[in-house]
Amino acid sequence: MRRGLTLIESLVAIAIISILVATLVPGVGLVRARAREGECRSHLRELALGALGYSNSNREWLPPAILFFMKDGQLDARGWDYRQFAGAWSPGAIWPFIGDGRVLMSPELAEPASDAEPFTGYNYNTTHLGSEGFLPGPAPDGHMIEGWENARLGAAPAQVRRPSDCALFGEGGWKGGANRFMRAPLNSVEYNLGTIYAGGQAFRRGRGTLVVHLDGNVRAYETPHEGPYAAPWLLSQVMGFPRNGFLSADDSAYDPR
């Protein structure tokens, strides 16, 4: 005849199971975190290869961060990742060179930013590398200035001197979530503090923020920087510091020269 467990034996068994669960759960979480990190590194490398593919087809110029055109009386915004026109999103400049648009979705994000913009999470060095357009407007002779004609150009191929230390793509983050345009802290071309503090990087607990550089190497930056114009409202209301921050105190992590 089988004897049932006594109360003391049952309590001991429950305690042992609780200890095992408490030991295993953090381990499972760590494995998942490392898997997400590995996937993120892979995505960033693929984005770098996509930018290289674009440059090989465009006289060594990197993709534009964003250009603006007028089409049928509506604004046509053509970004490095997406084109937005007539209320709809479609593939942007880099898509023909990455194959699968899902590499634009960070594994650290639980869901896309919106139904219309299905993949998001990474940002592109817009201050120094990606050309940035201005809104279209009429020229003195009456024609519409738009697209490349109305853009601040990024670094020319001949200006690239530090490919292994110049950020290309990273994990974008500001107080409102992900961002698509990486900004450097010195405000050297934007002349808008709100814009640059909304272009920070997302620093994940335990590993910092991942960045792929112009030469394709991926590494983590562990310390978020405030930047030289760190007013309290910019840090708290725009950037969301220290969960988000700059890669360096100056532009050294962003400037390829």
pLDDT at residue 145 in the model: 96
DSSP 149-218: GGEE----GGG---TTTSEEEEEB-BTTB--SEE--TT-SSS--HHHHHTS-EE-BTTTBEEEEETTS-E
pLDDT at residue 232 in the model: 97
**For the whole model, what pTM was predicted?**
0.86
Q: Which residue has the tokens 């290309």?
A: 168
Three-state DSSP at 253 gives coil
- Indicate the pairing of strand 209-213 with strand 74-79: unpaired
pLDDT at residue 36 in the model: 86
70 within 8 A of 144, measured Cβ to Cβ = yes
What are the mean pLDDT values of the chain's consecutive 10-residue runs (257 residues total)? 63 70 58 84 97 96 98 95 92 92 86 60 97 95 94 96 98 94 97 98 92 98 98 98 98 98
pLDDT at residue 24 in the model: 56
pLDDT at residue 100 in the model: 83
CA distances from 27 to 23, 24, 30, 47 (A): 7, 5, 5, 30
Taking alpha carbons only, the member of 176, 190, 182, 60 closest to residue 114 is 176
pLDDT at residue 10 in the model: 66
